[in-house]
């Protein structure tokens, strides 16, 4: 039975790391004292130790301990034995590359589908979809595959931004990029705005937070969904 939170971001404007989610995480991780942190995405290129320290400080506020997967001699066994797992944001290509390099993809899929609580933010949310093809990140490394963990039957676009009509920026919008994706791919894409997350419990997928999300389906006009909406119909 899957028990997953797929968050657009770890940090919203004016808030500390994971701070806006701590009330939700207190409930979500109520049966876990120790959280296995996977720091592979390395935002801004920080080290695994630096990133783990950041996560540890955040979770200490809800009386949870944290240990980085890089601190274990056997990362596969670390995942299998974890009480709960958190995969942080950063670069999705770097994250995916490292998961494949360490042969962790199948172990993560099995462990999470068997009920171990999983929290993903940003890149850690991207890998919950079918593929990582709708990430906003630069492909600075080349993973063996773009296929992701497929915890939900669609792709995710964290940090989704609406077009700014007052901006002088003439580049592509997120919506334009997702339309380009659908020229070559058919899976739906859910654009998660900052401060929103998906709550996955078994076969139920529900939008949470205070904002709407934007849904892109192949050969359909994009549309908005309200918080509390079930998304398990998307395929």
Residues recognised as catalytic = 122, 137, 159
> For residues 22 and 58, what is the distance between their CA atoms, to the nearest angstrom?
8
Inter-residue contact 67 to 52 (CB < 8 Å):
yes
Cα within 13 Å of Cα(5), Cβ side = 26
Percentages of the chain per state (helix, strand, coil), in multiples of 5: 30, 20, 50
Inter-residue contact 5 to 198 (CB < 8 Å):
yes
Inter-residue contact 104 to 128 (CB < 8 Å):
no
For every residue of 64-111, DSSP letters joined together read: -EEEEGGGSS-HHHHHHT-S-EEE--S-HHHHHHHHHHTT-HHHHHHH
Inter-residue contact 208 to 26 (CB < 8 Å):
no
Cα 104 to Cα 69, 78, 113, 143, 206, distances in angstroms: 11, 10, 14, 13, 27
Nearest to 37 by CA among 97, 98, 82: 82
220 strand-pairing partners: none
Inter-residue contact 196 to 227 (CB < 8 Å):
yes
Whose tokens are 């979770």? That residue is 59
């Amino acid at each position: 039975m899957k028990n997953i939170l797929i968050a657009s971001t770890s940090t919203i404007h004016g808030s500390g790391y994971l701070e806006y989610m701590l009330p939700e995480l207190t409930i979500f991780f109520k049966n876990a004292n120790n959280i296995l942190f996977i720091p592979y995405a390395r935002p801004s290129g920080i080290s695994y130790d630096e990133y783990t320290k950041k996560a540890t400080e955040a979770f200490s506020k809800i009386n949870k301990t944290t240990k980085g997967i890089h601190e274990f001699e056997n990362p596969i066994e670390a995942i299998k034995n974890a009480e709960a797992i958190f995969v942080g944001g950063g670069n999705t290509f770097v994250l995916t590359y490292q998961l494949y390099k360490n042969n962790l993809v199948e172990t993560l899929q099995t462990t999470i589908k068997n009920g171990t609580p999983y929290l993903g933010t940003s890149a850690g949310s991207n890998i919950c979809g079918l593929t990582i093809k709708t990430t906003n990140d630069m492909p600075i490394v080349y993973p063996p595959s773009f296929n992701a963990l497929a915890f939900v039957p669609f792709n995710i676009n964290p940090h989704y931004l609406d077009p700014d009509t007052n901006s002088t920026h003439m580049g592509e919008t997120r919506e334009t990029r997702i339309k380009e994706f659908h020229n070559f791919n058919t899976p739906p894409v859910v654009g998660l705005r900052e401060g929103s997350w998906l709550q996955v419990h078994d076969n139920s997928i529900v939008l949470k937070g205070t904002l709407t999300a934007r849904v892109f389906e192949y050969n359909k006009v994009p549309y908005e969904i309200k918080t509390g909406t079930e998304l398990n119909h998307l395929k």
